[in-house]
Amino acid sequence: MNRPVVVIAGAGFGGLTCARALKHAPVDVLLVDRNNYHLFTPLLYQVATAILDPGEVAHPVRQLIRDLPHGDFRKAEVTGVDFDRRLLLTEEGPIHYEYLVIATGATTDYFGNRSLAETTMGLKSLDEGLAFRNHVFSQFEKSRWVTDPDERRRLLTFVVVGGGPTGVEMAGAISELIRLVLRKDYRDLNLNEVRVVLIEAAPFLLGRFDPRLREAARKSLEHKNVDVMLGSKVEAVTHEAVRLGGGIEIPTFNVLWTAGVRGSEAGAATGLPLERPSRIKVGATLQAPGHGEVFVIGDSAGVTNGGGLLPMLIPVAMQEAKQVAASITEMVDGGSPKTFLYKDPGIMATIGRNSGVAQLGRVKLSGFPGWLMWLFVHLVNVVTFRSRLIVLINWAWDYLFYDRPIRLIVRAAEPPSRSKMAP
């Protein structure tokens, strides 16, 4: 008797958790992703700011599913779904499924402004994290050749747009990288020519946090020499400046955009009805409308819980993944899918050395206690034991010696073309 095939599109937190949860189910599991690795996104900003190497936050998918007796992986870009023939469409070819789980994640949202995509950098992928790291160090190297102070300030002004957890963590990490590490590498560096700016359109940072924690985060950033500009809407970004409302202009060559995320292009390519922002509309059982064999989880899913859409967070994706795995197991045995109910475990963010905020139900921590809680939770959740050990060593080294070990400008060479490889 053939085992039903469960195809999971996306090997992020949702997809990987779902695959693992199906370990003992009477099904074959096939994970499909455009990358051959699972990325621990909460620590991506530490790759971008030279604390961690890519190998500490990204792990081969095949390694992570070795213990799944009926699990496999295919590297391919998802291009759509043929629901009538039950085929997941990819650039490498179609894949048949009995059950499909769409977990293709999210991408940076530029709100329809194409110029923002061309003039700013994002931080949603490993490639973007490495590109930003290269960019920061390249700007400092260029600044040593520049004699005009205004031009040097433009090179050394770093603007982060978006006051959510990613923006707050990045602004604090960039400031500490410069003031605690790079000032020692560049002996003639004038810190008065360096500026880190965090721009948020709302009148506060960290919108989902308690007001007291928002204020603690703002004060901590300002203590770390970050210029926090609240209630400031970005009107335009050019290659040389950021223009805000009221005629304010910030000269800079360096803009990191963290002001929004939306469902992935792969999710939108399925043709299923979408919620804003580009998330597939699903019901309480996480099934796609009109297609009971198709489930949607994680950032791809637009599911309501108590009236509003669930946030695009890792705990949401992982809880949805476990629920869908249980539903598929029930359906294989002739049962029905279960209703999903989200249990909020809390949220947290770090603002660099000795400072963080954590909101865990009624428990609200800021400063050093919040930072310790953030460290503990993220260290425990790093995927492999080896990575936990290396991450802990790198954190300790940075904390004790004010030094970040990965300050290399590295770019991968393009592989030779087929014509050059031919005999």
Active site residue 169: yes
Q: Which among 52, 347, 307, 337 is positioned nearest to 214, based on CA atoms?
A: 347
d(CA 69, CA 336): 25
Q: Are 213 and 206 in contact (CB under 8 A)?
A: yes
The answer to whether the bond into 42 is cis (omega within 30° of 0) is no
Contact between residue 273 and residue 289 where contact means Cβ atoms under 8 Å apart:
yes
The token pair at 294 is 């198709």
Please count the other Cβ atoms lying within 10 Å of the Cβ belonging to residue 386. Answer: 12
Return the HEC string of 206-263.
CCCCCHHHHHHHHHHHHHCCEEEEECCCEEEECCCEEEEHHHCEEECCEEEECCCEEE
Q: What angle, rounded to 10 degrees, do the helices at 165-176 and 211-223 form? A: 20
Strands (E), 337-418: 347-350, 356-360, 363-366
Closest CA relative to residue 225, chosen from 156, 122, 294, 144: 156
Of the candidates 234, 176, 167, 243, the residue with the CA atom closest to the CA atom of residue 205: 167
Please give the DSSP secondary-structure letter assigned to residue 299: G
Contact 211, 219 (CB under 8 A): no
Give the count of alpha carbons within 13 A of 8, CB side only. Answer: 32
Report, in this order, helix, strand and coil percent for the chain, each rounded to 5. 35, 25, 35
Exposed/middle/buried for 31, CB within 10 Å: 0-12, 13-18, 19+? buried
Name the H helices within 312-365: 314-332
Name the active-site residue from 91, 92, 141, 169.
169
Catalytic residues: 169
